[in-house]
Amino acid sequence: MKVVVITGAGSGLGASLAKKYSKLGYHVCLLGRTRSKLNLTAETLTQSYSIYEVDVTSNSDVAKVIQSIKDEIGPIDILINNAGMGVFGLAENLNENSVHAMIDINLKGTIFCTQEVLPDMKKRNQGFIINIVSTAGVEGKINETVYCASKFGVRGFTESLALELKETSVGVFGAYMGGMKSEFWDGIFTQEQIKDFMDPDDVADIIIENTKLRKNLLVTEVIIKNKI
């Protein structure tokens, strides 16, 4: 059975991806900071799964969890770097903790998790790394200066990593999507304000379709925007 590791799997797109990969027959490793949320996602899965509490901003924490997955489950076939957070407002109003949190979770978390799976994937010469980036990694946005900075960083990391892996069979994919209906917007927008946002299940379908292995074809990134 193939193994997929998903960070930020407790809600939103991470939960949707977990459900769909489970239906495809994968053993799904659910990673996140809150076990109760991960348990809710686990209840939707049809195949075997594992739950790991992890702080992706801690290199040592990530290393321990990834090693545990390898020891307990087996080699990792797909890593989905989905964990992320945003604090929005004018640049001069963002406090220090918010700046650190966005850079640490969105950028460093992606780097740390990727670093831990790369050696084994390169040794086996197979595997796939999917980075969930957001359209904030493609264009600057008002009230999203540091959030965009963190996501532009992930884009640079993703594109550079793809070049490093060009001569291997390890794939790298960047997903750049707009706002989705999820807990991400709690305290920022009302339910009425996000009612026309994208459905995470639809975005998950698009990501999975574009990361399927196909003969003589490789999709390296997809931009998914809201109609509004």
Catalytic sites, residue numbers? 147
Q: Which of 159, 185, 175 is nearest to 210 (CA)?
A: 175
Angle of CA points 221, 85, 228, to nearest 5°: 60
* Region at 143 (left for phi over 0; alpha for psi -120 to 50; beta for the rest): left
Residues 131 and 14: their CA atoms lie apart, in Å, by: 11
Report the DSSP beta bridge partners of residue 100: none
Helix residue ranges per DSSP H, the chain: 12-23, 35-42, 59-72, 96-102, 109-124, 145-164, 200-210
Going by C-alpha positions, the residue among 145, 168, 166, 164 that lies closest to residue 156 is 164
3-state secondary structure of 51: strand
Q: What is the 3-state secondary structure (H, E, C) of 102-129?
A: HHHHHHHHHHHHHHHHHHHHHHHCCEEE
Dist CA 66 CA 63 (whole Å): 5
